[in-house]
Each structure stands twice: as C-alpha cells, then as structure tokens.
Amino acid sequence: MRWLKTYAEKCVNCGECMKVCSTTYFKKDDPKLARIKVTEKDGKQHLNACNQCGTCIAVCPTEALYRDKNGVVQVDKKKCTSCLMCVGFCPTLSMFFEASVQTEPFKCIACGLCAKKCPAGALELVNE
C-alpha cells in the first residue's frame, strides 16, 4: 500500500506542500484546496494527510470510493453523489470538500509531489 508518511517534528510550516498540491490539482495556490493540511497548535506543527485506512470506503452508499492497484483510496467522480458521508466519517479528518471548486470530496492520493517539494524532509512517500 502506498501512503504519505508525515514527520511533524521536521516541519517548518513553509507551506510548500500545500502550494504544490493545490496548484497541481486545482491550478490555484490556496491552502484550503490542498489535499494535505499543515496547521500549528501550541507552537507545534500538525500535518494531516490521508493514511489510506479505508474507513470512507465502507460508508460510501454509492461505492464511489475504492482502492487502486497501489492500495490508495480513490474517488470515482462518476459515482459520487456528494453526500459527504466519507467526509463525516473520516477518522483522521483527511477527506475534504470545497463546494466552490468541485462537487466531489477530495483527499491525498499519495502522489508524492509534496514530499519532493518539502525542504525539511517532513514528508515521505511510503510503499508497504
């Protein structure tokens, strides 16, 4: 299974991961459109990206969520009805929705672009 491993202790909160993600998938430099979120709480960084647990697959009433050949959870836009069950049931709060740009929820698909751009080594694409 492929997934994005995070090392919050290495994060310098530069935002490069969110920038490359949002510009790649939405053609905008906008952190709310990134599939990875970096926030700060009590002076510490928190990195949030889908760990590919699959909880969302089990709750999707239209079977729009599935695992690809790499074990990555994907959204089939043709089957998705935007009920947002996946967003509500995601145990890591890693399924996102932004109605202003698309009708389907979105999440990290472990493409690794953010890991390549991270200057601090806080992200790693893992295949297990």
The pLDDT-based confidence of 38 (bands split at 50, 70, 90) is very high
User: Tokens standing for 57?
Assistant: 């697959």
The predicted model gives 38-66 an average pLDDT of 96
Q: What does the mean pLDDT of the chain come to?
A: 97
Residue spans of the domains in the chain: they are 2-120
Encode pLDDT of 59-108 as tens digits.
Answer: 999 999 999 999 999 999 999 999 999 999 999 999 999 999 999 999 99
Domain 2-120: give its CATH architecture: 2-Layer Sandwich (3.30)
For tokens 């953010």, the residue is 114
Distance, CA of 4 to chain centre: 9
Give pTM, 2 decimals.
0.93
- Under 8 Å between Cβ of 58 and 76: no
The pLDDT assigned to 105 comes to 97
Residues 6+ apart with CB under 8 A from 26: 33, 101
